[in-house]
Each structure stands twice: as C-alpha cells, then as structure tokens.
Amino acid sequence: MATVSTAAAAARYAAAASAATGETGATPVPGPEAVGFGQVLENALAATVRSVKEADAKAMQAVAGAADITDVVTAVARAELALQTTVAIRDRVIQAYQEVMRMPI
C-alpha cells in the first residue's frame, strides 16, 4: 500500500470535493507548503455548505414552479455527495484521533 502524505491526501479530498460540487474553473491545488490541512478542510466544508444551499434554492424554485426538475435533482445529488464526503472525512479524522489516543506513551 502506498504511503500518502497528509497534504497530498488533503489535496485529493479537496479535488474530490470540487468535483462533487461541480465547480468548474477551479484553481489548481497548491503544493503542500502553501496550504495546510486545516485550510483544505475549511475549504471543503465551505464547498459542502455552498452546494447544500444551492440545492435548497433549486428546491424552492421547483416548489414555486420556476426550476427544471432535472436541475433540482442534479443539485440535490451533488449536495448529497458532498455531504457524504464530508461525513466520511470527519469519521476518518475521528478514527485517526482515537487511534492516536490509544497509543501507549
């Protein structure tokens, strides 16, 4: 199994999050020296919140009869995927923290 640095993993999660939310024209992820893991997580959370708000707005437009159902379903699916990704990252961070806490001193 290949070893992946924390910064590389964070960059991959950020790329997955931007792909999941459908962001186009995103700037390339800088090297590990430019962005910290916390900043990548913060950006991923912001993208998740943004996609959920977009899905909510599309759903409200659909209720008002002003949105295409395909757009609504796509926005909701993107938001669901972004939320599932965020929850998976959170679970892995908690799992890693618990493993560190179980280590003998």
pLDDT digits (tens, 9 = 90+) for 41-75: 888 889 999 999 999 999 999 999 888 899 999 99
Share of the chain above pLDDT 90, in %: 47
- 37 confidence band (pLDDT: 50, 70, 90): confident
Taking the C-alpha atoms of 80, 83, 88 and 89 in order, what is their torsion angle to the nearest 10 degrees?
150
pTM for this structure? 0.59
